A and B are shown apart, each in its own frame.
Chain A
Amino acid sequence: MLSKERFTAAAQKYMDMIFRLAFSYLKSREDADDATQNVLFALYKTDKAFESAEHMKAWLIRVTVNECKKILRSPWRRRGEPLEDYENTLRFEQPQDRELYAAVMALDGKYRAVIVLYYYEGYSIRETAQLLGVPPATVGTRLARARQQLKFTLTEAERL
């Protein structure tokens, strides 16, 4: 088990990453907060000996993915504020960042998670596949389709 100090440092370092990935799965701030708390609680309780910061990060991502799947299948998903209300609280640098964010969130869930891990966290296709527990070919397909969908959505938005 981690010391309180080491746990606190790790939690502060990774909680946004966990939330971002959870939000990409769940599209609900309340559910993503729940998932983040449960994942950090699991981190506190685990006896796992992490070999490195990267090892811990990968473990956290796996736990987050599993936690999100559990929440998605739970009868007790919380229905909180409308997604649009939460989006309106987010501060983007540029208007096009908001458009791209909306386009990403409009993707199917399986594509959103791949986008977050590949583009935001910078994992390779093979690493993303390992983290999600799917074959690399699946990640490649999802990335290609996500790119295609994003391109279509953003192009359509420009035409309007």
Chain B
Amino acid sequence: MTERKRIQRALEPLHASDDTLEEVFAMIERDKAVKHLKHTGRNTLRTVTVAAALVLALSVTAYAVGEYTGFFETVFGDEDAGKQTYDLPLDSWDDEGNQRTMEIVTEGQPVDQETAQRVLDGSVAGGASVTAGGVTCAVENIVLADNGVGALTYTVEAPDGLPDMTVTDQVWGYFYWDDGYDISADGDLGLLNAPLLFIPGDGGMVDERTALVSATETKIEATVYMALFGDETWPDALDVYFFLDEDQDRAEAYKLTLALPEPAQTTVLTADGGWTAKLSPMGLVIEPPADNPYGNDYGFGDLVVHMTDGSEYVVELAEPYTVNSRVGTVDGGIKRWVFNRLVDPAAVESVTAVGDGNGYQDADGSPVPYDQAWVEVEPELVGDTWTSSTALREGLTEMNVALDLTFTK
């Protein structure tokens, strides 16, 4: 039996619930009722349970741009910044049904306000707010660099008490268990109380992580660290959706559209072999050469920013379980890190990256670009459908290459 048929048989018992269609038709009827209310204007939408996609277009207020001292302290760290410990829930339960957790230590660094004002001047924008149903969702400030790395601060406030929403004090970025298993990607760990960020239109995407600043029964303050990617055109705006729940069944979405600031400039560093590192005050983006044989399958155990004064910032794991970058993402072989501190690119001497890459090689040992290692094979009959497939090119063998890169200006 083929590998494909075995997996098909193993997954075959998964079926949608019997009442799926019935529920969908009920949703359709509710949707018709909402449309009717909109048309007649006899009532407010709040009297009807509606799907999460309902966006309330309400009063949106633009904030004035002001001093950013507090903003920089929130984003990068104030004088009290240091190590904090969190229990990160894992997607795993023990035999007694208790969710397993892992202790994570996050590390912050106090921001140098003078440097922040100098390197990010002009790249911070004021936010906006939306108020509905006694709840105000506000983005206070946003900062971005043109390597796509940035952050924003937001609050959700309700004088009469916030809707019953789950609040977490977790913070996480891109890190590994000691057995090499990464647990950051693809939202496998749901990010609680965080807004969703979208680039309007069909453009790029945003990867984000939230760090809670404070939470009371009437107000939540938090920071979103983000990396924009996937589109070469710099976006003009960012859509921010806040989801608030009133009946613990369906959340309502409150949407803000933020005009983006002029991005902070990136300093491009290069290393032998066609590797590129785009450095901004907020983070680093490493791009492999176009003909790289590794795809995404490369990594660095040691990524160090060397400063001109001789000091260092070790971006990845400084010690086991310590997270000293805010966000790490991988997309098409491009890796991004959002720093946990402000880095003045002018004060950077070099960046070193030591790790390894896994790819394929020809019989003569020549590396094969990853996208040329896989070829289409004869269509295969699966069930009653002919399907195309891809296989590793014949004659190729796996290779593991040590990477020892030094990026300089």
Q: Which residues of A contact B (CB under 8 A)?
A: 8, 11-12, 15-16, 18-20, 23-24, 27, 29, 32-33, 36-38, 40-41, 44-45, 69-70, 72-77, 82, 90-94, 97-98, 100-101, 104, 108-110, 115-116, 119-120, 122-127, 133-138, 140-141, 147
Tell me whether B51 and A138 are in contact (CB under 8 A).
no
Is B193 close to A, CB under 8 A? yes
Bound-state CA distance A17–B4 (Å) is 16
Task: Give residues of chain B (9-65) contacting chain A, Cβ–Cβ below 8 Å.
Answer: 9-17, 20-21, 23-24, 27-28, 31, 51-52
Tell me whether A15 and B388 are in contact (CB under 8 A).
no
Tell me whether B190 and A90 are in contact (CB under 8 A).
no
Instruction: Give the nearest-CB partner of B168 in chain A.
Output: A75
Question: Residues of A contacting B178 with CB < 8 Å?
Answer: none
Tell me whether A109 and B188 are in contact (CB under 8 A).
yes
The listed residue (A8, A92, A138) touching B13 by CB distance below 8 A is A92
Instruction: Give the nearest-CB partner of A19 in chain B.
Output: B16
Question: Residues of A contacting B347 with CB < 8 Å?
Answer: none
Bound-state CA distance A160–B20 (Å) is 40
Is B331 close to A, CB under 8 A? yes
Question: Residues of A contacting B330 with CB < 8 Å?
Answer: 138
Tell me whether A44 and B295 are in contact (CB under 8 A).
no
Tell me whether A74 and B251 are in contact (CB under 8 A).
yes
Q: Looking at B166, B295, B388, B390, which has the most chain A CB atoms within 10 Å of its CB?
A: B390
Q: Which of B141-149, B337-345, B370-378 contacts A (4 or more CB under 8 A)?
A: B370-378
Bound-state CA distance A45–B196 (Å) is 23
Tell me whether B11 and A104 are in contact (CB under 8 A).
yes
The listed residue (A8, A115, A125, A133) touching B390 by CB distance below 8 A is A125
Tell me whether B13 and A110 are in contact (CB under 8 A).
no
Is B237 close to A, CB under 8 A? no
Question: Residues of A contacting B10 with CB < 8 Å?
Answer: 92, 97-98, 100-101, 104
| Min distance, Cβ A14 to any Cβ of chain B, angstroms | 9
